[in-house]
Amino acid sequence: MPTSNPQQLARAAVAALSVVVLVIAAACADDAEAPASTTTPTAAPTAEATPTPTPTPDAPTAPRFSGTDGRELYGQACAVCHGQALEGTNAGPTFLDRIYAPWHHADIAFIFAVERGVRAHHWNFGNMAPVEGLSHEQVLAIIAFIREQQRAAGIE
Protein backbone atom coordinates (compact mmCIF):
# COMPACT_ATOMS: atom_id res chain seq x y z
CA MET A 1 0.00 0.00 0.00
CA PRO A 2 1.64 3.26 -1.09
CA THR A 3 -0.34 5.72 1.03
CA SER A 4 -2.78 5.03 3.83
CA ASN A 5 -4.96 8.07 3.37
CA PRO A 6 -7.54 8.12 6.22
CA GLN A 7 -10.33 9.16 3.84
CA GLN A 8 -9.62 6.20 1.60
CA LEU A 9 -9.64 3.93 4.59
CA ALA A 10 -12.97 5.32 5.73
CA ARG A 11 -14.46 4.81 2.29
CA ALA A 12 -13.17 1.26 2.19
CA ALA A 13 -14.69 0.61 5.60
CA VAL A 14 -18.08 1.94 4.51
CA ALA A 15 -17.97 -0.20 1.38
CA ALA A 16 -17.07 -3.29 3.39
CA LEU A 17 -19.87 -2.59 5.85
CA SER A 18 -22.50 -2.24 3.17
CA VAL A 19 -21.45 -5.60 1.74
CA VAL A 20 -21.94 -7.15 5.16
CA VAL A 21 -25.36 -5.52 5.50
CA LEU A 22 -26.40 -6.83 2.07
CA VAL A 23 -25.28 -10.33 2.95
CA ILE A 24 -27.24 -10.24 6.19
CA ALA A 25 -30.31 -8.91 4.40
CA ALA A 26 -30.08 -11.72 1.85
CA ALA A 27 -29.69 -14.31 4.57
CA CYS A 28 -32.77 -12.96 6.36
CA ALA A 29 -34.78 -13.09 3.15
CA ASP A 30 -33.83 -16.76 2.79
CA ASP A 31 -34.92 -17.46 6.33
CA ALA A 32 -38.31 -15.93 5.73
CA GLU A 33 -38.87 -18.38 2.85
CA ALA A 34 -37.90 -21.47 4.81
CA PRO A 35 -40.99 -22.99 6.47
CA ALA A 36 -39.46 -24.38 9.65
CA SER A 37 -36.05 -22.81 9.91
CA THR A 38 -34.25 -23.69 13.11
CA THR A 39 -33.03 -20.11 13.39
CA THR A 40 -36.55 -18.63 13.61
CA PRO A 41 -36.39 -16.52 16.75
CA THR A 42 -40.15 -16.03 17.29
CA ALA A 43 -41.40 -19.06 19.19
CA ALA A 44 -42.70 -16.99 22.10
CA PRO A 45 -46.49 -16.55 22.52
CA THR A 46 -46.09 -12.84 21.81
CA ALA A 47 -45.22 -13.17 18.14
CA GLU A 48 -46.58 -9.78 17.18
CA ALA A 49 -44.53 -8.59 14.22
CA THR A 50 -45.15 -11.66 12.04
CA PRO A 51 -46.77 -10.76 8.69
CA THR A 52 -48.76 -14.02 8.53
CA PRO A 53 -52.34 -12.97 7.67
CA THR A 54 -54.54 -15.60 9.34
CA PRO A 55 -53.33 -16.62 12.79
CA THR A 56 -54.88 -20.05 13.30
CA PRO A 57 -54.54 -20.87 17.01
CA ASP A 58 -53.77 -24.57 16.66
CA ALA A 59 -51.60 -24.46 13.54
CA PRO A 60 -48.73 -26.89 14.16
CA THR A 61 -46.13 -24.73 12.43
CA ALA A 62 -46.96 -21.28 11.10
CA PRO A 63 -46.59 -21.35 7.28
CA ARG A 64 -47.04 -24.97 6.23
CA PHE A 65 -46.86 -24.31 2.53
CA SER A 66 -45.00 -21.70 0.59
CA GLY A 67 -44.78 -20.67 -3.03
CA THR A 68 -47.23 -21.25 -5.86
CA ASP A 69 -45.63 -24.16 -7.69
CA GLY A 70 -48.50 -26.61 -8.14
CA ARG A 71 -46.26 -29.66 -8.40
CA GLU A 72 -44.36 -28.74 -5.23
CA LEU A 73 -47.52 -27.96 -3.30
CA TYR A 74 -49.23 -31.12 -4.48
CA GLY A 75 -46.17 -33.07 -3.34
CA GLN A 76 -46.32 -31.47 0.08
CA ALA A 77 -50.07 -31.45 0.63
CA CYS A 78 -51.71 -34.25 -1.37
CA ALA A 79 -49.16 -36.82 -2.52
CA VAL A 80 -49.01 -38.63 0.80
CA CYS A 81 -52.52 -39.95 0.09
CA HIS A 82 -53.12 -39.40 -3.61
CA GLY A 83 -49.64 -40.46 -4.76
CA GLN A 84 -46.74 -38.37 -6.08
CA ALA A 85 -47.68 -39.31 -9.64
CA LEU A 86 -51.43 -39.17 -8.88
CA GLU A 87 -51.40 -42.95 -8.78
CA GLY A 88 -53.10 -43.14 -5.40
CA THR A 89 -51.93 -44.83 -2.21
CA ASN A 90 -53.62 -47.03 0.33
CA ALA A 91 -54.76 -43.80 2.02
CA GLY A 92 -56.46 -42.16 -0.94
CA PRO A 93 -57.63 -42.61 -4.52
CA THR A 94 -55.72 -41.97 -7.73
CA PHE A 95 -56.69 -38.87 -9.71
CA LEU A 96 -55.87 -40.72 -12.91
CA ASP A 97 -59.30 -42.24 -12.91
CA ARG A 98 -61.99 -41.04 -15.28
CA ILE A 99 -64.25 -40.14 -12.38
CA TYR A 100 -61.86 -37.27 -11.54
CA ALA A 101 -61.88 -35.92 -15.08
CA PRO A 102 -63.04 -32.28 -15.22
CA TRP A 103 -66.49 -33.17 -16.58
CA HIS A 104 -67.15 -35.35 -13.56
CA HIS A 105 -65.24 -33.59 -10.79
CA ALA A 106 -64.99 -29.95 -11.77
CA ASP A 107 -62.36 -27.72 -10.21
CA ILE A 108 -64.85 -26.64 -7.58
CA ALA A 109 -64.97 -30.22 -6.28
CA PHE A 110 -61.23 -29.99 -5.67
CA ILE A 111 -61.59 -26.65 -3.93
CA PHE A 112 -64.34 -28.07 -1.70
CA ALA A 113 -62.30 -31.19 -0.99
CA VAL A 114 -59.38 -29.11 0.27
CA GLU A 115 -61.46 -26.58 2.19
CA ARG A 116 -64.17 -28.81 3.64
CA GLY A 117 -62.84 -32.31 3.38
CA VAL A 118 -64.59 -35.22 1.68
CA ARG A 119 -66.97 -37.87 2.95
CA ALA A 120 -65.91 -41.17 1.45
CA HIS A 121 -68.34 -42.03 -1.31
CA HIS A 122 -66.48 -43.51 -4.23
CA TRP A 123 -64.03 -45.85 -2.56
CA ASN A 124 -63.17 -47.41 0.78
CA PHE A 125 -60.35 -45.16 1.89
CA GLY A 126 -62.42 -43.37 4.47
CA ASN A 127 -63.01 -39.62 4.68
CA MET A 128 -60.57 -36.93 3.69
CA ALA A 129 -59.96 -34.23 6.29
CA PRO A 130 -59.71 -30.62 5.07
CA VAL A 131 -56.16 -29.63 4.19
CA GLU A 132 -55.32 -26.50 6.15
CA GLY A 133 -52.69 -23.90 5.45
CA LEU A 134 -53.19 -23.56 1.70
CA SER A 135 -54.19 -20.23 0.20
CA HIS A 136 -56.81 -20.14 -2.56
CA GLU A 137 -54.08 -19.31 -5.05
CA GLN A 138 -52.08 -22.34 -3.93
CA VAL A 139 -55.12 -24.61 -4.30
CA LEU A 140 -55.65 -23.34 -7.84
CA ALA A 141 -52.00 -24.07 -8.62
CA ILE A 142 -52.43 -27.62 -7.32
CA ILE A 143 -55.55 -28.12 -9.44
CA ALA A 144 -53.71 -26.84 -12.53
CA PHE A 145 -50.95 -29.38 -11.84
CA ILE A 146 -53.48 -32.21 -11.41
CA ARG A 147 -55.28 -31.28 -14.65
CA GLU A 148 -51.97 -31.19 -16.49
CA GLN A 149 -51.10 -34.69 -15.27
CA GLN A 150 -54.56 -35.95 -16.10
CA ARG A 151 -54.31 -34.60 -19.64
CA ALA A 152 -50.92 -36.24 -20.04
CA ALA A 153 -52.56 -39.52 -19.03
CA GLY A 154 -55.40 -39.01 -21.50
CA ILE A 155 -57.99 -38.15 -18.86
CA GLU A 156 -59.87 -35.07 -19.95
Q: Could you list the residues that contact ligand HEC (CB under 6 A)?
A: 77-78, 80-82, 91-93, 105, 109-110, 113-114, 118, 120-123, 125-126, 128, 131, 142
CB of 125 to ligand HEC, least distance (A): 4
Does residue 118 sit in helix, strand or coil? strand
CB of 40 to ligand HEC, least distance (A): 25
Nearer to ligand HEC, 7 or 124 (CB): 124
CB of 121 to ligand HEC, least distance (A): 5
Is 86 exposed, middle or buried, given 0-12, 13-18 or 19+ CB atoms closer than 10 A?
buried
Nearer to ligand HEC, 31 or 115 (CB): 115
Report the distance separating Cα 100 and Cα 86, nearest Å: 11
Report the distance separating Cα 82 and Cα 76, nearest Å: 11
Nearer to ligand HEC, 46 or 90 (CB): 90
Nearer to ligand HEC, 93 or 149 (CB): 93
Nearer to ligand HEC, 62 or 64 (CB): 64
DSSP state of 105: S
CB of 44 to ligand HEC, least distance (A): 31
Report the distance separating Cα 89 and Cα 81, nearest Å: 5
What residues are paired with 89 via a beta bridge? 92
Render 124-150 in DSSP notation, one character per residue: SS--B----S--HHHHHHHHHHHHHHH
CB of 91 to ligand HEC, least distance (A): 5
